[in-house]
Amino acid sequence: MKALYRWGGGALAIVVTGVVFIVPFVFILLTAMKTRAEANRLEFSWPTEMAVVQNFVEVLETRNYILVIAFINSTILTVASVAGMVVLAAMVAFVLQRRPSRWNPFVNFLVLSGLIIPPAVVPTIWVLQAIGLFRTMPGLILVQIAFGLSFSILLFRAFIATIPREVDEAAVIDGAGPLRLFFTVVLPLLKPVVVTVVVVQAVNVFNDFVTPLYFLPGERNATVQLTLYNFQSQFTTQYNLLFMNILLITIPMLLLYVFFNRQIVGGMTSGAVKG
């Protein structure tokens, strides 16, 4: 009976996963392959006439290749933001874990506040305007780093707790200063959790719709998620092109997750179990 419940629960989980994740993706794929007239019916069916190449070319050429520009913008934004998160979060987590002081409770409060308190859009825009970074890529990069820093710090801190202090002491005895200790000794040991942070935060930043909409307005500043507006209007929607666009911006992060899903789980569970 227990085995039946166990296998039944597993089968139910697979079915739910298929309904929630796989079925919508298949619907997107099928609709992206259809002509405009057939796609507008929004039916879950095999296309009677293939229009994959035509839809693909039309999506790329829309508004002077705005999707290509958006991919470049999103790539720059994702790489710079994730790199900043990794370095800053690892350094903060190392100091919090290895150098306890009377400021630690306050810093921990700030880290947890970053997870609990929702972002304040208008005050953040005021700050960016004051320092001249509103509507600029560096300003958006700083905002993305700030939004993702708390979660990254918690992951790094849990993993750093698994590294023996003797490693730090041996490096200090050999003459390593604080920066050399961190970058040449500690950071290479954080590879599992670095991969986890990179993949998770890259997916978050690349798929973010609201933050670029608020902090980086402008057609030439568009990111991939904002290109979904290209094929929607108040009266008509080109569903074949809309779903082809969704498919194109989904594939990169989907592949990233598929190839690194083991590292993601390993980086999270190592810190959770040993920390």
- Going by the DSSP 8-state scheme, the letter that residue 49 receives in this structure is S
CATH of domain 65-274: 1.10.3720.10
Helices 104-116 and 137-160, packing angle to 10 deg? 120
Contact (Cβ atoms closer than 8 angstroms) between residue 39 and residue 55: no
Q: What is the pLDDT of residues 257-267, one digit of tens each?
A: 878 777 666 66
- Mean pLDDT along residues 109-126: 88
Mean pLDDT for 230-254 is 84
Q: How far apart are CA 206 and CA 79, in angstroms?
A: 9
Structural Rg of the chain based on CA atoms: 23
What tokens were used for 41?
């019916």
For 172-198, the pLDDT digits (tens) are 888 888 888 888 888 998 988 998 899
d(CA 227, CA 209) in angstroms, rounded, equals 10
For residues 244 and 230, the answer to whether their CB atoms sit within 8 Å is no
pLDDT > 70? residue 275: no
What does the alpha-carbon distance between residue 116 and residue 103 come to, in Å, rounded to a whole number? Answer: 20
d(CA 207, CA 199): 12
> Across-strand partners of 232?
237
Three-class HEC string of 202-260: HHHHHCCCHHHHHHCCCHHHCCHHHHHHHHECCCCECHHHHHHHHHHHHHHHHHHHHHH
- What pLDDT, on a 0 to 100 scale, did the predictor assign at position 63? 86
Which sequence spans correspond to the domains of the chain? 65-274
List CB contacts of 198: < 8 A, sequence separation 6 or more. Answer: 82, 86
| Residue 211's pLDDT band (cuts 50, 70, 90) | very high
Q: With bands split at pLDDT 50, 70 and 90, how would you rate the model's confidence at 120?
A: confident
Q: pTM here?
A: 0.86
Residue 238: closest CA among 230, 246, 250: 230
Lowest mean pLDDT among 52-61, 103-112, 163-172, 254-263: 254-263
Torsion angle of the four alpha carbons 243, 249, 253, 255, in this order, in degrees rounded to the nearest 10 = 70
Higher per-residue pLDDT: 33 or 13: 33
**Residue 220 pLDDT grade (very low, low, confident, very high; cuts 50, 70, 90):** confident
Task: For residue 235, name the pLDDT band (cuts at 50, 70, 90).
Answer: low
Instruction: Give CA–CA dist 56/94, Å, rounded.
Output: 47
**What is residue 20's predicted lDDT score, i.e. its pLDDT?**
80
pLDDT value of residue 273: 46
Residue 198 CA from chain centroid, whole number = 8
Q: What percent of the chain has pLDDT over 70?
A: 91
